[in-house]
Amino acid sequence: MMVTGHRRSRHPRGAPAGKRTRRSPVDSSWYSGRSRYRTVAVTSVPPPVAPGHGATPDLTSGSGWSAPASGERVSSVDRVRRPVLTSAILAALASALAATLAATGLPAGADVAGATATAPPGTPTARSFAGTPTVGPLFPPGSATHTCTASVVASAVGDLLITATHCIAGDAKGYTFSPGYHDGVAPYGSWTVVGAYASPQWVRRRSPRFDVAFLVVAPQRRRGRLRQIQAVTGADRLGTAPAPGTRVTVPAYPVGRDDRPLTCTARVTERAGYPAFDCTPYVDGTSGAPWLWRGPRGWTVVGVIGGLYQGGCEPWTSYSAPFGPDTLRTYAATVRGARTTTFPGPEGDGCTTGL
């Protein structure tokens, strides 16, 4: 089934559309944020033989992403696919495809659109789980249907999210993010986006190599004082593109409402110069989902679903833009409060056929 050209994201009418190049070693020691949190440099991701590879977290319990305990420090640097149509259309689409969920191992209550195609034999299958504190769905302004995925990325200020640029329309103000969301419950609250940043290369050419965006969310008053999101949920470090063979875990939210996320751990490959992984069904709404690698210093975001074909033309293969020097420059510009980005309008994903 063709769904506005791409399976990964949905945005409001008139907003932008919603899937690596060779991995480049990056010396990231130029950045070191300092605040009330511990200072940690942005790190490159080592090859699969490095310590920490092969670790598979139990995402059913959310272990590895727990919120900081009282007095605990948080690392300072350690995932729609297209703007939404209307809530009624999305709900109808999700309902029409709900019958396919039994074959994927997901619960009947999960509203997953675009999961009707058959994956190649041997493709890993994602499972439903109860969510994790640093990852959540992204809701367009005024919508009760989430259309993309985002996650908290560590910074000195503690107010940053990472997602895919094709998930965002305009200046992004008014989008909301609900970390740890499941079954219609937002255990850590809903946080309002007040600014967004992307590479100038994306704004000028909408090159899939630069399909990465950083969002700034406003603080919230909790127990009488303002707190940034990182202090409430914790955060994952920012890294660079993973080498082929690296194991990544990808929590993501298919488009819907009152539902649960899915997760899968898979090995990274390289296809057409982009990082990729195989697991099904990463469908509409999973754009922006973080590729999380567990290294010796904790969880690191080494990609987000996006890039080639705005994340992919089939639900069993997902791509990421290759994180590298440009990603780190955009991150640094976000941290220092440079001028925010106005995101261009919709554009096709390049898929000749799709769901």
Residue 196 binned pLDDT confidence (cut-offs 50, 70, 90): very high
Across residues 319-334, what is the average pLDDT?
A: 97
Q: Which residues contact 261 (CB under 8 A, 6 or more apart)?
A: 128, 129, 131, 135, 137, 149, 181, 182, 251, 252, 253
CATH number of the 87-335 domain: 2.40.10.10
How far is the C-alpha of 192 from the C-alpha of 215, rounded, in Å? 10
**Position 41 pLDDT exceeds 50:** no
How far is the C-alpha of 218 from the C-alpha of 238, rounded, in Å? 20
Return the H-helix or E-strand segment holding 330: helix 325-335
What does the DSSP 8-state code read for residue 36? S
Question: Does residue 243 or residue 51 have the better pLDDT?
Answer: 243
Task: Please give the pLDDT value at position 8.
Answer: 52
Q: In terms of Cα–Cα distance, which of 179, 178, 182, 181 is closest to 107?
A: 182
Pairing of strands 298-304, 237-238: parallel
Pairing of strands 213-217, 160-163: antiparallel
Q: The whole model's pTM is what?
A: 0.73
* DSSP one-letter string for 88-105: HHHHHHHHHHGGGHHHHT
Find the range with the poorest average confidence among 56-60, 225-229, 266-270, 309-313: 56-60
Segments making up each domain of the chain, as ranges: 87-335
**Position 202 pLDDT exceeds 60:** yes
**Position 67 pLDDT exceeds 80:** no
Find the range with the poorest average confidence among 199-203, 218-222, 348-352: 348-352
pLDDT digits (tens, 9 = 90+) for 204-247: 889 999 999 999 999 999 989 999 999 999 999 999 999 999 99
Task: Please give the pLDDT value at position 54.
Answer: 29
How far is the C-alpha of 297 from the C-alpha of 306, rounded, in Å? 26
Express as a percent the part of the chain with pLDDT over 70.
Answer: 65
Q: Which residues contact 349 (CB under 8 A, 6 or more apart)?
A: 5, 6, 8, 17, 18, 19, 81, 82, 309, 310, 313
pLDDT digits (tens, 9 = 90+) for 82-137: 333 344 444 444 444 343 333 334 433 333 444 446 889 999 999 999 999 999 99
Looking at 212-277, list the stretches that DSSP marks H as alpha helix, in order from N- to C-terminal side.
229-233
Q: In terms of Cα–Cα distance, which of 231, 216, 209, 218 is closest to 304?
A: 209
Task: Please give the pLDDT value at position 91.
Answer: 44
Task: Please give the pLDDT value at position 119.
Answer: 87
Q: In terms of Cα–Cα distance, which of 296, 240, 288, 287 is closest to 268?
A: 240
**Position 81 pLDDT exceeds 50:** no
How far is the C-alpha of 168 from the C-alpha of 29, rounded, in Å? 30
**Position 64 pLDDT exceeds 50:** no
How far is the C-alpha of 236 from the C-alpha of 219, rounded, in Å? 18
Q: Is 334 helix (H, G, I), strand (E, B) or coil?
A: helix
- Give per-residue burial for 236-248: e unless 16+ CB within 10 Å, then b: bbbbbbbbeebbb
Residue 58 binned pLDDT confidence (cut-offs 50, 70, 90): very low
Answer whether the bond into residue 83 is a cis peptide, omega within 30°: no
Average pLDDT, the chain: 75
Chain centroid to Cα 225, Å, comes to 29
Q: What six digits make up the tokens of 93?
A: 């689409």
